[in-house]
Copies of this chain bind each other. A is one copy, B any other.
Amino acid sequence: MAKVRIGDVAREVGVSLGTVSNAINHPERVKPETLALINDAISRLGYVPNQAARQLAGTESRVFGLALPRLDHAFSLQIANGAQAESHANGYDLLIASAGNDDLLENHYLRYFLGAHIAGVLVQPMATSSWRPALDKPMIPTVYLDVHHQGLANCIAPDNEAQGRLILQHARACGSERVAVIGEARFTQLALRVRGICDAARESCISVELIGRGDWNTAEDGFQIGRRLAERPVGHRPDFVVGLTDVLAAGAIDGIMAAGLSVPDDMLVAGCDGNPLAWSGSVPLTTIASPGYELGRLGVRHLLAQIGGKELTSSSYGHAVPKLIERASTCRNPGLVSHVEVPDLNLAEYLGSPSIA
């Protein structure tokens, strides 16, 4: 199965090599009948253009790269799906690389994308507290997703504050008066959620108690805290527990039940992530869905804007809206699922700040 080159096609048809190239890249420059002959020969011979040679010879590639920390997190997948849809809608391909939570590998893929002179790169960096741009001198359009970094124009993140506000509004709607927030806000994302919760609580005159220390992030951690909260005497017990992540919240439910109380009869519990896996608990969990799909789309649009050199306004990006997903953990009649929306992701902020280039 010898490889078929463009010259083979040319010889087959009896035209020059350049004509075949034109037929592929600029069909309008080629006489219709010649074009037909060439296309015929191409499919007959099974010719597939060598991408490496094309790129080397100067065609701009129509491929975006997406580097994800892992593939098993729902949020990342929503990003991938959104990015895929938007890329495809604009005539671009999307190649996804997973770094398997290995920051060396993340860098490796980024360099690979760079070397493959891809049209643009989307990166959802690993959630380490000390994050900084992997490509200090980005030579291709790059957008960082789910990153809050002041001074960097090319970072897009969902509005975590809005998520926090949304959760607290829900607590109020449920008639709750004492909210406990569990989880350590190590990462900016979580800290912003806390801020949103506190802001909304202040407006609503709801008391908020923050319970976070160390690196709590497992269901076990949630379990311990949930149990201890449930064991408090009635007057000192929160009536609404917010887990900063779904995993914590799910653990808390089990902890509360282990202490002999009922969710949602004695305490309400909500999470924050929209992680489908968090459904697995004993009680389906109310949560806030981060708009991953929209984030992926936004990222691609930002890439396209960088490529086009266009100055885009916030409105041309569309909006990424976090959603409240109400389930049994905060609801007396499970099965009913409603969606509440909140104003949108603030895009003006990152559009206004200077690029890191």
Docked complex Cα distance between A282 and B280 (Å): 10
Copies held by the complex: 2
**Residue pair A98, B98 in contact (C-beta under 8 Å):** no
Contact pick for A56, options B53, B94, B108, B335, CB 8 Å: B53
Docked complex Cα distance between A284 and B283 (Å): 10
Residue A22 interfacial (CB < 8 Å): no
Contact pick for A109, options B72, B93, B97, B137, CB 8 Å: B93
- Rounded to whole Å, the gap between the CB of A198 and the closest CB of chain B is 31
**Residue pair A48, B114 in contact (C-beta under 8 Å):** yes
Residue A50 interfacial (CB < 8 Å): yes
- Rounded to whole Å, the gap between the CB of A276 and the closest CB of chain B is 5
Interface residues on A, range: 35 or more
Residue A1 interfacial (CB < 8 Å): yes
**Chain B residues, Cβ within 8 Å of A357:** 1
Interface string of A37-80 (1 = CB under 8 A from B): 00000000010111111111000000100000011100001101
Docked complex Cα distance between A80 and B81 (Å): 14
Docked complex Cα distance between A63 and B116 (Å): 12
Residue A149 interfacial (CB < 8 Å): no
Contact pick for A52, options B46, B93, B105, B116, CB 8 Å: B116
**Residue pair A84, B71 in contact (C-beta under 8 Å):** yes
CB neighbors of B among A112-161 (8 A): 112, 114-117, 137, 139
Docked complex Cα distance between A77 and B77 (Å): 9
**Chain B residues, Cβ within 8 Å of A48:** 111, 114-115
Contact pick for A280, options B77, B84, B111, B279, CB 8 Å: B279
**Known A1-B139, A277-B279, A284-B280: A81·B52 in contact at CB below 8 Å:** no
Residue A88 interfacial (CB < 8 Å): yes
CB neighbors of B among A280-299 (8 A): 280, 282, 284
Docked complex Cα distance between A84 and B3 (Å): 28
- Rounded to whole Å, the gap between the CB of A139 and the closest CB of chain B is 5
Residue A334 interfacial (CB < 8 Å): yes
**Residue pair B72, A81 in contact (C-beta under 8 Å):** yes
Docked complex Cα distance between A165 and B71 (Å): 30
Residue A304 interfacial (CB < 8 Å): no
- Rounded to whole Å, the gap between the CB of A315 and the closest CB of chain B is 26
In the A-B complex, the 9 residue pairs with the smallest Cβ-Cβ separation, listed nearest first, are: A52-B55, A279-B280, A96-B96, A51-B115, A51-B116, A52-B52, A52-B56, A48-B115, A95-B95
- Please name 17 pairs of A and B residues whose Cβ atoms are closer than 8 Å in the assembled complex, sorted by A: A48-B114, A52-B53, A52-B56, A53-B56, A56-B56, A71-B77, A71-B81, A71-B84, A72-B81, A77-B77, A80-B98, A81-B100, A88-B100, A94-B98, A96-B98, A276-B280, A282-B335
**A-B contacts besides A1-B137, A49-B115, A84-B98, 19 pairs, CB < 8 Å:** A1-B139, A48-B114, A50-B115, A51-B112, A51-B115, A54-B115, A63-B112, A70-B81, A71-B80, A72-B77, A93-B97, A93-B108, A94-B97, A95-B97, A96-B96, A96-B98, A276-B280, A279-B280, A282-B334
